[in-house]
Amino acid sequence: MRAVTDTQPREPRPVAPWIEPQSWQVTAVRLEAPGVVTLDLTPPGPFEFLPGQFNMLYQPGVGEVPISISSSPADSSHVLHTIRDVGPVTKALCALQPGDRVGVRGPYGTSWPVAAAEGGDLVVVAGGIGLPPLRPALYQVLSSRGRFGRVTVLYGARTPDDLLFADELSAWRGRFDMDVTVTVDAADSGWHGNVGVVPDLIKRAAFDPDATTALVVGPEIMIRFTVRALGAAGVTDDRVYVSMERNMQCAVAMCGHCQLGPFLVCRDGPVFSYRKLARWLGIREV
């Protein structure tokens, strides 16, 4: 297998985003875990996005928040957003019901380097609510499975009740062409799986470090430990890509709220090669 580098410009170019909110209809609502809801939204017209991009979701009189798209890029008729209730806007979004309307503008941001990873192994590492932004990339990989080597998914949550997409995880585990390992920080009496933090799963995973691309989403401390574990396994940080969750408010690089060192996450991210961010993530309070 060939080694994958950060210099292969093979990804499709992002489409121009809608910069004014458009009214989308809520088609379905699914409770994924306590405080976590997936909204199935129907756009009013043609909509395209790349895995890893996000939309700005708007509720009149409440506010607007960036939410990663969690559905397949091959199906733009139903665009999914998986949302955790952590504030006034997300609370209002999680309370929506089928038939309600929500303002949407986007898509924004950089995407996962799925095409550049072809020909090598892929390791996907998610912590908590980090699985939804990675889901579109997994859909794209599985739709052209023969173009990749080993595909490994490592996913961790705080408790068994906090695991997202349980049915899908079970279906992925049943496949013979991918490895899925799940862990929780704290188990109850009904849990018979792994207990521990997700970076600890890397040393037990099978992949060729010289031909591996890693995609990582989770809390920043989890990202740092994951990159360290991948490095110990032989994966260099220029082949590790992360999606950053920062305080994005405008999505058009005007307000500066999402600044991370020299970067504005809404414009330069949210997907970055870890090598670009390593210096800045090592500084507290940046």
* Mean pLDDT of the chain, nearest integer: 91
Q: Is the pLDDT of residue 23 over 80?
A: yes
Element spanning 139, H or E:
helix 131-143
At residue 286, the pLDDT reads 55
Q: How far apart are CA 235 and CA 127, in angstroms?
A: 19
CB atoms within 10 A of CB 103: 16
Q: Is the pLDDT of residue 261 over 50?
A: yes
Q: 115-243 — its CATH code? A: 3.40.50.80
Domains of the chain, residue spans: 18-108, 115-243
Banded pLDDT at 9 (limits 50, 70, 90): very low
3-class DSSP state for residue 30?
A: strand
At residue 130, the pLDDT reads 95
Q: Is the pLDDT of residue 62 over 60?
A: yes
At residue 5, the pLDDT reads 45
- Tens digits of per-residue pLDDT, 157-197? 999 999 999 999 999 999 999 999 999 999 888 898 999 99
Handedness of CA 180, 222, 89, 270 (dihedral sign): negative
Q: Is the pLDDT of residue 49 over 90?
A: yes
Contact 151, 177 (CB under 8 A): yes
Q: Is the pLDDT of residue 41 over 90?
A: yes
Share of the chain above pLDDT 70, in %: 93
270 CB contacts (<8 Å, ≥6 apart)? 52, 54, 68, 109, 110, 133, 243, 244, 245, 246, 248
Phi-psi bin for 97: left (phi > 0), alpha (psi -120 to 50), beta?
beta
DSSP code, position 279: H
HSE-CB at 149 with a 13 A cutoff on CA atoms is 20
Bond prior to 219 in cis (omega within 30° of 0): no
Q: Is the pLDDT of residue 3 over 90?
A: no
CA distances to 31, 33, 36, 104, 217 from 85, rounded to whole Å, are: 11, 11, 6, 18, 18
Give the length of the chain: 286
Look at residues 125, 204, 136, 123 and name the one whose alpha carbon lies nearest to residue 168.
Answer: 136
What is the DSSP annotation of 82-110?
Answer: EEE--SHHHHHHHT--TT-EEEEEEEES-
Please name the amino acid found at residue 269. G
Element spanning 175, H or E:
none
At residue 18, the pLDDT reads 60
3-class DSSP state for residue 13?
A: coil
* Span between the terminal Cα atoms of the chain, in Å: 38
Q: Is the pLDDT of residue 154 over 80?
A: yes
DSSP code, position 255: S
Q: 18-108 — its CATH code? A: 2.40.30.10
At residue 15, the pLDDT reads 63
Q: Is the pLDDT of residue 271 over 50?
A: yes
At residue 246, the pLDDT reads 72
